[in-house]
Amino acid sequence: MCISRREMTEKYYDMVYRLALSCTKSRQYADDVAQEVFLRFLKSDKVFESEEHVKAWLIRVTVNRSKSVFSDLWFKRTVPLDENIPFSSPEISEVYYAVLKLPQKYKTALHLFYYEDMSVKSIAECLGEKEATVKTLLHRGRNMLKKSLDGRCDDEHSKTV
């Protein structure tokens, strides 16, 4: 692999942070998760076959670490703050908050597909699922969004999820 770990960190930091934010719903936890993911990445002596392998590893570790945040004793004793994330368009804001209310498995699949522009095959590999499972998660997640948005999520808006 030609690119150094430091360059990979700079290249994929935003992706990891956005995924962590989507999973944890908290900027503070997303910061912590992203820092821990990259600390593990930089300290790891794992040999990666390609840049895609690095990306898949980062996604997997981010999802796993985001899940473990909620099982930590500290999290169980705290009350989350209501964070309002500003958006330029009210439609995007409404869809974003609707996505955050979905169960984790749907939220992760939708985030990787729409925000990270990953293929179904790539998502399946990263999450350790079958492609059919990912397609089902995307389909059910979209249906849940349509219900929660009372049908206001037409085809044009569903592409911006």
pTM of structure: 0.60
Q: Tens of pLDDT along 81-123? A: 445 555 454 445 677 778 878 888 898 898 888 888 889 998 8
| Torsion over CA: 130, 36, 22, 16 (sign) | negative
Tell which CATH classification among 3.40.50.880, 3.30.70.2520, 1.10.10.10, 2.30.42.10 matches the domain 90-158: 1.10.10.10
For residue 144, pLDDT beyond 70: yes
Q: Tens of pLDDT along 13-58? A: 999 999 998 888 888 889 999 999 999 998 888 888 888 999 999 9
Where exactly are the structural domains of the chain? 5-76, 90-158
